[in-house]
A and B are shown apart, each in its own frame.
Chain A
Amino acid sequence: MKRLFTSELSRRKVVQQAGLGAIGATAAAHGVSSSATAAQEPVRLTWLLDLPESEMIANAFMERNPGIQVDVELVTFREVFQQNQVRLGSGADNPCIVAVDAPLVASYGLRGWLVPLNDHFSDEQRDVWVDALVDSGTYEGQFLAPPIWNSTQLLYYNVALFEAAGVTPPGPDERWTWEQIAAAAKQLTSGDVWGFQFEQPNRIYQLQPLPQGKGAPVIGEDGLSVEGIITSPEWIEAFTWYSNLYNEWGVAPKGEVDVQELFVNQKLAMVVRGPWAIKALSDADLSFEWRAAPHPYWENGDIVVPTDSWHLGVNPNCQHVEEAIRFVQFASSEEAGQLWYDTGVMWPPQEPLLEQIINNPENNDGPGKAYTIAAEESQHAAPRAQTPGYLEYEDILSSAFEDIRNGAVVEETLAAAEQRIQRELQKYRNA
């Protein structure tokens, strides 16, 4: 009876013997045990993700690889993390293809949830991607998950609201400072119009340029400590400014009302959002003009822009590891990057594609210029904290940012968050 409640295959064994030989052997052993019927039916790979467009990539792969079927399991963004935790944590064989948020590569790698892929991606293949993303996909020297998408952030603004308030907007190549943003937001806020908002106002992904732009780190060098970091003067200054947006100056809305809806209904003058907004705004048939500008920075500070997105890894307990690796190779290739980009929803991680976007004459001015700006922002990309405790780190910071936004005292809130993160990271320091 005990066997019913324990997972058959220990994934750790596979990980320890990392090389291809071991994986091949395991796959072969599975082939034998899963009996002769498998020969007739297509190999089935499960892929859990949050984006409907994934079907298109799965279909493209299946056309090129007859005999392999990729089953896309769609869940919401937040559920991807929960499902991964439970399924991979209990040693299940699905999903075969694991969606990993860039900063979680370390966490999944430490737990042995991903097959090392060093031997399956040549140096030339890895050179195709933006450098920062190759780093994100690597943990302790093992390349675990290639990037399939990328992200960046730009400033979008409503031209009509700027005109109405008599404020001159930034030019297409003009990078505003956060100080300028606050000053303009104060002038733009009136009646039921808000001056400014972040797309994801309580996530470290979106907010880390605030302390980083002042030269502060977001985590200790070993990735296992935040002592003195989150309570540093830079962090306090950055988040006092952030708090002022919502409380002191009241130029940004509290709550979780969709920025897309606020912006298209002309209730929001400026928003910092990802490149997926370009298509969403172009498709919205708006009665006003909008433009984009580079991501803001602090006066005399560093230029730091959020980056990264999903990577793909392979579950060591998958029954068809080799086929799964082949799929991951395809989904992260330049060919697939072009397909993703053509949907208008995802941003490619491959440098040649970014160059193409910049060189496309349609992207020289007007709303299309936003694509060029987004592609150019890659050079300022700063990846998120590299720590096996990223989930804890992010969750605790999210609560802290939300509290600050709702008016909590900045110093106290950050100090409490620092303590709590430090406490949760303890388990990795001991491991």
Chain B
Amino acid sequence: MTAVAVTVTVLLAVAGGLTLMRIIRGPSILDRAVATDVLLAIIVAAIATEAAYSRDATALPVLVVLAVLGFVGSVSVARFAARRNTK
């Protein structure tokens, strides 16, 4: 299981790095919102993998919160961007 955990960690870390580059490069705020959503999904995957690796369910409630929070975040950014665009 350790080899699996290392593999998954490396894959997720690279994915997170690429996503961070998109967040930095933009160009628009919506690009960043989408990339942040992906980063959040990667973080959820990382926490779930950790829970699976150590057989420890302490972090699982965090996942529930994250699954809802990401939605609120990108919806509010989208509303903000839409209002600015239509002015």
Question: Does chain A bind chain B?
Answer: no
The interface of chain A, by Cβ under 8 A from chain B, is none
